[in-house]
Structure 1
Amino acid sequence: LDQVLVEGWNEGWEDWFGKSKDYVFDFVTPYPDFDVKMLNEYARSKGVKLMMHHETSGSVRNYERHMDKAYQFMADNGYNAVKSGYVGDMIPRGEHHYGQWLNNHYLYAVKKAADYKICVNAHEAVRPTGLSRTYPNLIGNESARGTEYEAFGGSKPFHTTLLPFNRLIGGPMDYTPGIFDTKLDFMGDLPHGQVQTTLAKQLALYVTLYSPLQMAADLVENYEKHMDAFQFIKDVAVDWDDSKYIEAEPGDYITVARKAKGTGNWFVGGITDENARTANFTLDFLEPGKQYVATLYADGKDADYKENPTSYQIRKGIVTGKTKMSVKEARSGGFALSLIEATPADKKTVKKWR
């Protein structure tokens, strides 16, 4: 993993939500127990960076007041990417998330960040309209109901089968996938107190929902319980040279294959809505005459997004462009498939796909 995102690092979080205050954060003052210099040095010693978080609490005027200083603070401390947030009613009053004044602000923030060589991942911002083609430092936007809304907002299982056909037309989306523990105890008895998905479907979202910035959004201890499945998150690319939309019915299912940028490797993701189905397809997008090690992460036989979301199975074998695949998807389930060019050693040790 390239970076670690830390939210709540800066002073003001005990008094921000729903208070409609013009001044909450200055975006440069950490809490006493968050040693910015030490933590960034430690991250560098591990070959990673910290990602910055700027929650505006809706006070856009205050954010613009502090923006140069905040971005300079990032540059001085080794940060090169920021997740910004716009939770709450806008200040100034009368302005709204999708209004012209806010659109002007989002563009201003992206252009200003570019001056400091900083990438922006904006949450609660306006839906993109291709802006990242002009400003590639706009590396991803949320700007639609992300994973969290499956639990506390009641998004339905078909939601992620629609996003590639509406929200994602305008640019990459940070959906924050990769949730392995889907049942949230702190939600109590709410009828939608869990993420509406199987574990295998969460892996598939890394392929079906395009973003050059992908999160591994669950707790570390939840990944440690399923390190064999987490291997796909370690392997999957985040940007692509080619994409093939193999099968799809908006609102029902989608299967996508993508060629990892600068390599010969492919990754496939397939998801379905609240109805179980079987995905049938041929790997004819692979280079003719080549062999690949296929690793399939699929729903277990007893998988179900409500009753048994963490049931999954992993299969491995040598495939070619002529190999036909048939993968069963549970209710609100899916599958993820990695296709890595086979080495001479692989061809001797890995069995042919059956």
Structure 2
Amino acid sequence: MKTPLITLLIALVFCSCQSEDTQKTEVASPNKNLVVDFDVNTEGRPYYVVKFNNKTVVDTSYLGFEFKDAPAFHKNFIIKNTSSSTFNETWQMPWGEQLDVVNHYNELKVELQEKTSPERFFNIVFKVYDDGIGFRYEFPKQARLKGDIFITEEHTEFNLTEDYNTFWIPGDWDIYEHLYNTTALSEINALQFANHKNLAQTYIPENAVNTPVTMVGADGTHLSFHEAALVDYSGMTLKVDTENLNLKSNLVGSENTDYKVKRTMPFNTPWRTIHITDNAPDLIESNLIVNLNEPNKLGDVSWFKPMKYTGVWWEMHLGKSSWDYGMTQDMSTWTDGDKSNGTHGANTENVKRFIDFSAKNNIGGVLVEGWNTGWEHWIGFEDREGVFDFVTTYPDYDIDEVVRYGKEKGVDIIMHHETSAATETYTKQQDTAFALMQKYGMHTVKTGYVGKILPKGEYHHGQYMVNHYNNTVIKAAKYEVAINAHEPIKATGLRRTYPNTISREGLRGQEFNAWATDGGNPPEHLPIVAFTRMLSGPIDFTPGIFNIKFDEFKKDNQVNTTIAQQLALYVVIYSPVQMAADLVEHYEANPEPFQFIKDVGVDWETTKVLNGVVGDYVTIARKERETGNWFVGGITDEKARDIDVVFDFLDADQTYEVIIYKDGENAHWDNNPLAITIEKIEVSKGSKINVKLAEGGGFAISLIKK
């Protein structure tokens, strides 16, 4: 890992005073375009207002808390003190979308105290960037508020001034795997999605949305609401008041407690964040979320290598093979625990086949799902504790031989831990499981939490699970293991603090195309995801499906993109681990488009979003670390369109071998998804080309330095 480089650091106190007449309660962004005003009203209720380009985008929005067995933080506050400062540094990502990250903001700290007994106090801190704000509550040490604090609700408001066009998923306490909806803010109806038939678990108690939730105004103002540094706290959904255009924090709770968050004084809450830009591309280029997290606590993490990977995964979703060893293919009938059913995917011979293919094609890893015992008992069983042990292999999987063979070929084995949401079993066995990985030199694990959380009454996004996910990352780091979490808690930028939290699912992924009964992910899905879910952090979406229709496996399902868009996703949807998800035989049958997957990078020095409209299309260019090669990807929704690509980001006086992979003539995500045109072109810095994207299509460009 490269040492963070602080280029400029200024911490100047502009105002620190006791007189209420001279207190500074306004803070502007470094470029002055974004302004936050703070005050308390005549009842002593604290509130803030946000202005962008001289327009109020968040009007009077109140702040506060409710506690168990204690008076609420609601009103009767006075401003005791304020202080402001500015901060500017450049730090470096050990891996990521870019190498150098500028962290430049102005800060306002407001100290509040009750003007009546018991005269408790707390602080609100605002950090204002050119592209958004973050604010959090701080509970300092004090005699009148000490010990354990039980928060029953946090009342953070975002009072909007326009009926924004909103891209949202329901405020589900258990899963993020919903399709995005596009409606006016006033038309949000999350409760219509309760008890979704395609989800393994779901609970939607309010008309609320999960974050990030992105909005676009009539004048082009773009807002996206989320949170950063979610540690020892409950995940935040946003309850929607459709009449008053108001969002209010609604913390995820638990059936086992009469409070939502338990903290010990003193403590800080996570940051509440608002991206604010005047265009869509700047949302993606923003570093607001990672910048609001603490610096790297792990030090050198060079043992983790960003990589592409193949694996025993997609074949199970297609029904070609099974996760379990001794059950029928549909996992409905147990046969004989000592005898294979003949369809078990994670067998030594099959895994070696993936290793051979990866070794030949510049792919660094192979994921193996279904290698360990327990799969025959985990679906449909109420008590799943003790089902998996994470060290015992099925009889047809020789882990010693697989690892040996992988090392011989220069290919890493990626571990898989499906917990079946039985958290106590996994917590007890983590040291043993991670020690096994350390023994074999495995540095990456994909974790899974399918099903209702055990212990019963907990939810995936409540404080109990927030702590479980974060503690797993911290424990794994001790064994030099990086976590790619599925059925996760939302990403909130903690990858800066713990760089072994490398990727996660947290959205409706590729597998829904293989088995969902509602037609799979529509073409507009990923052009929305790029401006919503991806703002929070890396996504393990598993792109690269070439056999779009897969009629030989499932005639009623398909991937709803062209093959060119599947290539583009390696650039557009960011992750430091990118799967070549299809079957080996489908890549071997299509060597020309597969060349792009062989060439494309996974670790970037620079990212530039060339154009985009939320939910419609996006084009992204990324420069690979070490090599200096550039790769460009563009995708569209169900509408065909022409996209201009201007190569003003290229190095001057540098020649490249340029190949463009684009939708072929008459390509269409449904009628003709495999039509692709591959051609070599010539470009230089400043060149401009026009690319035609088919319905549900895309394009990918490799620019390899000569």
Q: TM-score range by the shorter chain?
A: over 0.9
| Residue pair 1:11, 1:29 contacting (<8 A) in 2 also | yes
Asked if residue 71 in structure 1 is aligned to residue 428 in structure 2, the reply is: no
Name structure 2 gaps, 5 residues minimum.
1-362
Determine the C-alpha separation between the residues in 1 that align with 2:606 and 2:380.
44
Distance between the aligned counterparts of 2:550 and 2:489, measured in 1? Answer: 29
Matched, 1:6 2:368: yes
1:333 paired residue number: 697
| In 1, Cα distance between equivalents of 2:554 and 2:365 | 32
Q: How does 1:93-172 map to 2 (within 5 A)?
A: 93-153=456-516, 154-172=520-538
Q: Deviations over 1:64-105 (max 9, x none)?
A: 111110001111122111000011111110111111111100
Matched, 1:205 2:572: no
Report the counterpart of residue 624 of structure 2 in structure 1. Answer: 260
Which residue number in structure 1 is paired with residue 539 of structure 2? 173
SS in 2 for 1:269: strand
Q: Deviation at 1:166?
A: 1.3
Q: Deviations over 1:161-180 (max 9, x none)?
A: 11121111121111010111
Given the two structures, how large is their TM-score scaled by the length of structure 2? Answer: 0.47
* Farther-moved stretch of structure 1 (18-27 vs 65-74): 18-27
1:302-347 deviations in whole A, cap 9, x for unaligned? Answer: 21111221111101133201321111111100000001123xxxxx
Letter aligned with residue 39 of structure 1: V
Counterpart residue type for residue 232 of structure 1: F
Q: CA deviation at 1:244?
A: 0.9
Structure 1 CA distance for aligned equivalents of residues 529 and 633 of structure 2: 14
C-alpha contact 2:549 2:555 (8 A) present in aligned 1 = no
Query: Secondary structure in 2 aligned to 1:144?
Result: coil
Give, in angstroms, the shift of residue 188 of structure 1: 4.6
Partner of 2:650: 286
Tell me if the contact between 1:151 and 1:196 (Cα under 8 Å) persists in the aligned partners: no
| Alignment-derived partner of residue 349 in structure 1 | none
Name the structure with the higher helix share: 1
Aligned to 1:54: 417
Q: Equivalents in 2 of 1:18, 1:118: separation in Å?
A: 31
Q: Percent identity?
A: 50
TM-score normalised by structure 1 residue count: 0.93
Distance 1:171 1:54 in 2: 21
Alignment-mate amino acid for residue 402 of structure 2: L
Rounded to whole Å, the distance in 1 between the matches of 2:397 and 2:513 is 31
Structure whose alpha-carbon radius of gyration is higher = 2
Query: 1 CA distance for matches of 2:587 and 2:392?
Result: 32
Q: 1:220 aligns with which of 584, 609, 633?
A: 584
| Structure 1 position 239 matched with structure 2 position 603 | yes
Does the 8 Å CA contact 1:122/1:142 hold for their aligned counterparts? Answer: yes
How big is each residue's C-alpha offset from its partner over 1:3-41, in whole Å with a ceiling of 9 and x where there is no partner? 100100001111212313222100000001100101100
Deviation per residue, 1:248-307 (Å, 9 max, x gap): 001000000111112321100000001111111211111122222210011110211112
Partner of 1:350: none
Asked if structure 2 preserves the Cα contact closer than 8 Å seen for 1:161 and 1:252, the reply is yes
Match of 1:92 in 2: 455
Aligned-partner Cα distance in 2 for 1:64–1:287: 49
* Distance in 1 separating the partners of 2:552 and 2:460: 29
Equivalent position SS for 2:644: strand
**SS state at 2:615 partner:** coil
2:530 counterpart SS class: helix
Q: Which moved more, 1:165-174 or 1:30-39?
A: 165-174
Letter in 2 for 1:267: F
How far apart in 2 are the matches of 1:18 and 1:97? 18
Q: Please give the alpha-carbon distance, in whole angstroms, between the structure 2 residues aligned to 1:70 and 1:254.
A: 40
Q: Distance in 2 between matches of 1:333 and 1:221?
A: 23
* Structure ranking higher in strand proportion: 2
Q: Name the Cα RMSD after superposition.
A: 1.3
Question: 1:279-318, aligned counterparts within 5 Å?
Answer: 279-318=643-682
1:57 touches 1:87 (CA, 8 Å); kept in 2?
yes
- Say whether the 8 Å CA contact 2:527–2:618 is kept in structure 1: yes
**Structure 2 CA distance, aligned partners of 1:284 and 1:189?**
45
Specify the code of the residue in structure 2 equivalent to 1:292: Y
**Structure 2 counterpart of 1:19, which letter?**
F
Quote the Cα distance in structure 1 between the aligned partners of 2:626 and 2:553.
43
SS at match of 1:279: strand
Q: Give 1:39's match in structure 2, choosing from 387, 402, 413.
A: 402
Match of 1:19 in 2: 381
Paired with 2:552 and 2:677, the residues of 1 have a C-alpha distance of 29
| Matched letter for residue 647 of structure 2 | L
Alpha-carbon distance, 1:187 to partner: 6.8
The alpha-carbon distance between structure 1 residues 213 and 189, as it changes in their structure 2 partners (threshold 3 A), is: closer
Instruction: Specify the SS of the correspondent of 1:132.
Output: coil
CA distance in 2, matches of 1:198, 1:83: 28
In structure 2, give the amino acid aligned to 1:274. Answer: E
Assess, with a 3 A threshold, how the Cα gap between structure 1 residues 224 and 187 changes in structure 2: closer, same or farther.
closer
Distance 1:188 1:173 in 2: 26
Range with greater deviation from structure 2 (31-40 or 157-166) = 157-166
CA contact (8 A) 2:417 2:446 kept: yes
Please, which of 438, 443, 446 is the counterpart of residue 83 of structure 1? 446
Instruction: Give the 4+ runs in structure 1 shifted more than 4 A.
Output: 186-189
Measured in 1, the distance between the counterparts of 2:364 and 2:705 equals 24
Letter in 2 for 1:165: F
State the distance in 2 between where 1:165 and 1:152 align.
Answer: 26
What residue identity is the alignment partner of 1:15?
H
1:275 to 639, 642, 650: 639
Structure 1 unpaired stretches of 5+: 343-354
In 1, Cα distance between equivalents of 2:554 and 2:395? 33
Contact 1:36 1:77 in 2 (8 A): no
CA contact (8 A) 1:26 1:66 kept: yes
